[in-house]
């Protein structure tokens, strides 16, 4: 299981801004360790953000997304007190889901 994400969701009128920080190495597979051996690729491949039953964003990522990824976006129709869930799955099958309440 991955490390916890840091999530923020804030409503301004009917627009909710979601900010997500994920703890992940996002290793490209192109780098070498000091001994000269390649470091295996390890990166998040899919991200899904839901508000109740509704998917508000889905993404597919390659290893060129920066380490400890940051993502923010906005959607309409969210309400204060509602729950935002964020899930990621990486190339090793590791996954993590966290939730936050819209403020």
Partner 1 sequence: MPMLVHRFTKRMQMNQTRRDVVRQGSIVALLMAAGLLRPGDVCAADWNPAAFEIKKLEDLVTLLGGEPATASDAIAINAPDIAENGAVVPITVSSAVPGTDAISILVEKNPNVLAAAFEIPAGTLPEINTRVKMAQTSNLFVLVRAGGKYFYAAKEIKITLGGCGG
Partner 2 sequence: MQPSFFDGLRPRIAAACAGALLAAVALTATGDDNHAIDEIAKYREMLKDGNPAELMEMRGEELWTTPRGPRAASLEQCDLGLGPGVLPGAYAHLPRWFEDTSKVQDAESRLVTCMTVLQGLSVEEATRNWTKPNSDIEALVTFVATKSQGAAIDAPALHPREAEFAAVGAELFFRRAGPLDFSCATCHSQDQRRIRLQDLPNFLDPKSAQSSMITWPAYRVSQSAVWTMERRLIDCIRQMRAPDADYLSDAVIALEVYLQKQAAGGVMQAPGIKR
* 11 near partner 1, judged by CB under 8 A: no
Told to check if 58 binds partner 1 by CB under 8 A, we report: yes
Residue range at the interface with partner 1 (CB under 8 A); choices 5-13, 32-40, 69-77: 69-77
Q: How far is CA 62 from CA 12, 15, 54, 71, 96, in A?
A: 32, 29, 25, 14, 17
- Taking the complex as a whole, how short is the minimal distance between the CB of residue 5 and partner 1, in angstroms? 14
Q: For the chain, what is the largest distance between any 2 Cα atoms, rounded to a whole number of angstroms?
A: 54
Which residue of 12, 13, 30, 32 would you call a contact of partner 1, by CB under 8 A? 30
The nearest distance, CB 95 to partner 2, in angstroms, is 17
CB 55, min distance to partner 2, A: 22
Told to check if 33 binds partner 1 by CB under 8 A, we report: no
Separation in Å, CA 43 to CA 21, 28, 51, 78, 86: 14, 7, 25, 30, 16
- Contact 5/96 with Cβ under 8 angstroms? yes
What is the contact surface with partner 2 in residues (CB under 8 A)?
3-6, 19, 21-23, 25, 66-68, 70, 72
């Amino acid at each position: 299981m991955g490390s916890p994400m840091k999530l923020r969701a804030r409503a301004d009128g009917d627009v909710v801004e979601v900010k997500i920080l994920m703890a992940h190495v996002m290793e490209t597979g192109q780098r070498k360790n000091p001994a000269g051996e390649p470091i295996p690729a390890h990166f998040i491949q899919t991200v899904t953000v839901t508000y109740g039953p509704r998917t508000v964003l889905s993404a597919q990522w390659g290893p060129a997304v920066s380490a400890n990824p940051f993502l923010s976006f906005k959607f309409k129709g969210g309400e204060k007190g509602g729950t935002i869930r964020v899930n990621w799955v990486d190339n090793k099958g590791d996954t993590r889901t966290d939730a936050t309440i819209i403020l």
